[in-house]
Structure 1
Amino acid sequence: MSRLSSAFERTLPDEAATARLAADLALVLKQGDVVALSGDLGAGKTHFARAFIRALAGDPALEVPSPTYTLAQIYETRPKVTHFDLYRLGDESELDELGFEEAVETGLVLVEWPERAPDTLASASLHIELTDGPASGRTAHIRATEDAAKRVARTLAARDFLAQAGFAEADRAPFQGDASARRYESVAAHGAGPMILMDSPALVLGPPVRDGLPYARIAHTAETVLPFVAIARALSEAGLGAPAILDANLDAGFVLMSDLGRGIVLDETNCPIPERYEATMAALAHWHAHPPRRELPALGDAVHVVPPFDRGALSIEVSLLLDWYWPHLRGRLPDEAERQRFETVWNALFDRLGDAEPAIVLRDLQWPNLVWRPDEAGLKQVAILDFQDAMIGPSAYDVASLAQDARVDMPLELEQRLLDHYIGLRAAQDGIFDRARFAQDYAIMSAQRSTKILGIFVRLFRRDGKPQYLRHIPRIQSYLQRSLMHPVLGDLAALYRDWALLDDTAARTQDL
């Protein structure tokens, strides 16, 4: 029975369309994939292969000779791609000498004339057959395995979305993403400025974890692109820097937005630039000065109802420490008594947040989500990204997110400078701004955020195979130690001290 079950078909009226299809597929294929490319002489296989490899290399001028005589050619792209042309293959056994299996194990494989070696067809995750028609030009018939078919369907849907937005012939290229399942691409089209395509299919909810609900529902994690579109619009209307939404398909999960540039808030040594962080604090103070709206228009008649950062969300987030960070250190899950003590301490702190100043908290204000734009003026000099999980909650959360940036070392002196800057701006805006109350809320929310992040970074390591996140743990521990100095966190400080949760040596070396 063939492994290739799903089928797709694309009409390719010219060589440019063939090259676009090759580039679109290169965006979603990965190490271990085998692409079998069939067709008669002159059907366009070599043109397709050349465009595919150039897209992987990110070099439209890369020399890609046909390996008709050498039979195989390796390109150090990401992932590495080995291009086989089996037209002159004498016997299928020669595949071993050509290193076919090793090529599959260590990279991506593209095979022309796979019919000359049936084993290549048997191992293919994608089989593309190019045929010529009398009127419509070339046609690509694509069959794929179940896993590859999901990725192929997604990249073809993205192309269709761009066509509907008026950019059918746009060039697409991979763009650095984040720790989520979302994908980003840079999009270039004649007559248009630089654009970014967000590919964010509906969130797949996990199993129930509490009260019959999955984690995402309790934590109010965005399940579609609707919140992103709505918050981007609200930020822009408030006079702040945010991506302009050029088009969106809320059901399919595609958003086309303006590319805000590559300016960052760090210097050449990857240290925070104080003035740029202060500018971000000024934008945040302006945002927080306006009472939060629960209902935000998004696109057309669609309205996003901003969820509350309620006790359920607060508590499920800190519980990540018990579920992931604790066993990372201890080699076991906490027992019921330990969980009860943890929940008792945190519930008392959450009680104190009952009358905290509310705001639409953007949730992830750290340097990779900030774009510095020196050509802009005022509050728009800094633009904000990655805010789809925004909730209505204590304004201090966003201040803590920025002043204790999880991705870069924030010296205590700079953290205090940023706090003073924000508080000064808020006090000037609001004569009754309560500095002492804000300091208490800041301590609680910074501790809540750091506690959550310790769990998230270990989860990214253990569940998602991303050990690089462990290097951030000592920084998060140091932030927690600062926060725990506030008197309101006395019980939490005693708890974390009793459990030795801030032993950075153990956290960094466990299971590495």
Structure 2
Amino acid sequence: MSDLPDGIHAFLAQSGWGNAAIDPIPGDASFRRYFRIADGERKAMLMHAPPPHEDPQPFLDVAAWLSQHDLRAPQIFAADGAQGWVLLEDFGDDRMRDWLDANPSGEDGAYADAVAVLATLHRCAPGPFPPYDLATYQREAGLFTEWYCPAMGLEVDADGYVAAWEEALAPMLARQLPGVTVLRDYHAENIMLLGPDLQGRGPQGLIDFQDALVGHPAYDLVSLLQDARRDVSRELEAAMLAHYRELASPDADFDADYTRLGAQRNAKIVGIFARLWKRDGKQRYLAYIPRVWEAMERDLEHPALAAVAAWFDANIPRNIRDDFGGELM
């Protein structure tokens, strides 16, 4: 097949899969590519994360840490980090999102299981990953003013934006110490529904965790329950937050911190989707912005976000906000 990356056959041969069939999987929002590999009864997934745009080593490190703590990351069969190759366990086709599309009555149970995985993760000591510090939060939130605002032709108070986020997030920083491992992209498209494995680990497999940091336990809950790609009702969000409280007994400021991180993450995602359109020509992501914007507006109603909400009132015209940021479409 002419569209296969250079070196794929050599890597598979070195890994003992030289006779395997190779089936490319359509890509998404990164430089990574994935291939289904089949050699008789043996099945695997091949990830190509080529330097300099990608580095598979963080994925390998986080996968090893998760597996050591009885969380269900894919098993690694072979890897060549310098060339960007990773051969790993194939978790199949049952992504949580796709499964829920076909089985909507299973929504409560699937989300309860996903919340339980987070509660288990948060009982572990944090992994050896970088901190989710204020500079990182600011850099992410800054994608909104860097990409979305210019795309809308808006001249905004960038310095005031940074100051507003510092006022909102600074009170939370001490509460995220010593912290938990934050997978950062934990949502229905990155959760695979499986049967229990031979080690007795649960039915949900984890993928796309290579950007893990050590931060606040509310972050991955926001990612799950304010999903950019799938509608999660406010009732389900509230029920799953209550479920997490039962499992993990977070502190009294948890709800306020959840909204802080919800607004921060949603501002970041609006910026990322605008960047995917303007820089990478991936217009399909614009369709997700209204859902993300609507969740961000709800988060901004919390008093903990008063400074950020005031900045939006002063800088983002009402017609854009009433349209939930969707005028790019």
Fold shared per TM-score above 0.5:
yes
Q: Decide whether the 8 Å contact of 1:245 with 1:255 is kept in 2.
A: yes
Q: CA deviation at 1:285?
A: 0.7
Structure 1 residues 362, 307: closer, same or farther in 2, change over 3 A? same
2:304 pairs with 1:488: yes
Q: 1:401 is aligned with what amino acid?
A: S
For 2:194, the equivalent position in structure 1 comes to 373
Q: Which residue, out of 49, 57, 68, partners 1:226?
A: 57
Q: SS of the residue aligned with 1:273?
A: helix
2:26 pairs with 1:195: no
For 2:141, the equivalent position in structure 1 comes to 318
Q: CA deviation at 1:374?
A: 4.0
Q: SS of the residue aligned with 2:277?
A: helix
Q: Which residue, out of 277, 285, 303, partners 1:469?
A: 285
Q: CA deviation at 1:376?
A: 5.1
Q: Which residue, out of 127, 144, 167, partners 1:348?
A: 167
Q: Which residue, out of 297, 309, 315, partners 1:499?
A: 315
Q: Please state which structure has a larger fraction of its residues in helix.
A: 2
Q: CA deviation at 1:333?
A: 4.2
Structure 1 residues 355, 413: closer, same or farther in 2, change over 3 A? same
For 1:327, the equivalent position in structure 2 comes to 150
Structure 1 residues 345, 270: closer, same or farther in 2, change over 3 A? farther
For 1:458, the equivalent position in structure 2 comes to 274
Q: SS of the residue aligned with 1:383?
A: strand
Q: Which residue, out of 66, 85, 89, partners 1:254?
A: 85
2:212 pairs with 1:386: no
Q: 1:199 is aligned with what amino acid?
A: H
Tell me, in whole angstroms, the C-alpha distance in 2 between the residues paired with 1:289 and 1:506.
Answer: 37
Q: CA deviation at 1:247?
A: 0.7
Q: CA deviation at 1:332?
A: 4.2
Tell me, in whole angstroms, the C-alpha distance in 1 between the residues paired with 2:276 and 2:102.
Answer: 26
Tell me, in whole angstroms, the C-alpha distance in 1 between the residues paired with 2:324 and 2:194.
Answer: 40
Q: SS of the residue aligned with 1:185?
A: strand
Q: CA deviation at 1:499?
A: 2.6
Tell me, in whole angstroms, the C-alpha distance in 2 between the residues paired with 1:263 and 1:394.
Answer: 29
Q: Decide whether the 8 Å contact of 2:17 with 2:39 is kept in 1.
A: yes
Task: State which structure, 1 or 2, has the greater radius of gyration over its C-alpha atoms.
Answer: 1
Q: 1:275 is aligned with what amino acid?
A: G
Determine what percentage of the aligned residue pairs are the same residue. Answer: 35
Q: Superposed, which structure 2 residues align to 1:194-343 within 5 Å?
A: 194-204=43-53, 223-266=54-97, 267-268=100-101, 273-294=107-128, 306-329=129-152, 331-334=153-156, 338-343=157-162
Q: CA deviation at 1:446?
A: 0.9
Deviations 1:196-253 (A, max 9, x none): 100001234xxxxxxxxxxxxxxxxxx5111101111221222222111111111111
Q: Decide whether the 8 Å contact of 1:260 with 1:371 is kept in 2.
A: yes
Q: Decide whether the 8 Å contact of 1:359 with 1:393 is kept in 2.
A: yes
Q: Decide whether the 8 Å contact of 2:167 with 2:307 is kept in 1.
A: no
Q: Decide whether the 8 Å contact of 2:184 with 2:219 is kept in 1.
A: yes
Q: Which residue, out of 234, 237, 240, partners 1:412?
A: 234
For 1:186, the equivalent position in structure 2 comes to 36
Q: CA deviation at 1:498?
A: 2.7
Q: Decide whether the 8 Å contact of 2:168 with 2:260 is kept in 1.
A: yes
Q: 2:191 is aligned with what amino acid?
A: L
2:172 pairs with 1:172: no
Tell me, in whole angstroms, the C-alpha distance in 1 between the residues paired with 2:210 and 2:27.
Answer: 14
2:178 pairs with 1:361: no
Q: Which residue, out of 245, 252, 256, partners 1:440?
A: 256
Q: CA deviation at 1:170?
A: 0.9
Q: 1:454 is aligned with what amino acid?
A: V
Q: CA deviation at 1:506?
A: 7.3
Q: Which runs of 5+ in 2 are unaligned?
A: none
Tell me, in whole angstroms, the C-alpha distance in 2 between the residues paired with 1:372 and 1:162.
Answer: 27
Tell me, in whole angstroms, the C-alpha distance in 2 between the residues paired with 1:416 and 1:476.
Answer: 17
Q: Mean Cα displacement is larger for which, 265-274 or 399-408? A: 265-274
Q: SS of the residue aligned with 2:7?
A: helix
Tell me, in whole angstroms, the C-alpha distance in 2 between the residues paired with 1:159 and 1:274.
Answer: 43
Which one scores higher on RCO, CA 8 angstroms, separation ≥ 6?
A: 2
Q: Mean Cα displacement is larger for which, 245-254 or 348-357? A: 348-357
Q: Decide whether the 8 Å contact of 2:294 with 2:324 is kept in 1.
A: no
Tell me, in whole angstroms, the C-alpha distance in 1 between the residues paired with 2:196 and 2:180.
Answer: 29
Q: Decide whether the 8 Å contact of 1:356 with 1:441 is kept in 2.
A: no
Structure 1 residues 375, 311: closer, same or farther in 2, change over 3 A? closer
Q: CA deviation at 1:191?
A: 4.5
Deviations 1:379-424 (A, max 9, x none): 5211111010111111211111111111101111111111111111
Q: CA deviation at 1:509?
A: 3.1
Structure 1 residues 458, 480: closer, same or farther in 2, change over 3 A? same
Structure 1 residues 359, 274: closer, same or farther in 2, change over 3 A? same
Structure 1 residues 379, 396: closer, same or farther in 2, change over 3 A? farther
Tell me, in whole angstroms, the C-alpha distance in 2 between the residues paired with 1:392 and 1:447.
Answer: 19
- The RMSD of aligned alpha carbons is 2.0
Tell me, in whole angstroms, the C-alpha distance in 2 between the residues paired with 1:188 and 1:413.
Answer: 42
Q: 2:127 is aligned with what amino acid?
A: R
Tell me, in whole angstroms, the C-alpha distance in 1 between the residues paired with 2:219 and 2:52.
Answer: 24
Tell me, in whole angstroms, the C-alpha distance in 2 between the residues paired with 1:167 and 1:441.
Answer: 47
Tell me, in whole angstroms, the C-alpha distance in 2 between the residues paired with 1:382 and 1:286.
Answer: 12
Tell me, in whole angstroms, the C-alpha distance in 1 between the residues paired with 2:312 and 2:215.
Answer: 25
Structure 1 residues 287, 375: closer, same or farther in 2, change over 3 A? closer
Tell me, in whole angstroms, the C-alpha distance in 2 between the residues paired with 1:270 and 1:506.
Answer: 29
Tell me, in whole angstroms, the C-alpha distance in 1 between the residues paired with 2:265 and 2:13.
Answer: 41
Q: 2:248 is aligned with what amino acid?
A: R
2:251 pairs with 1:421: no
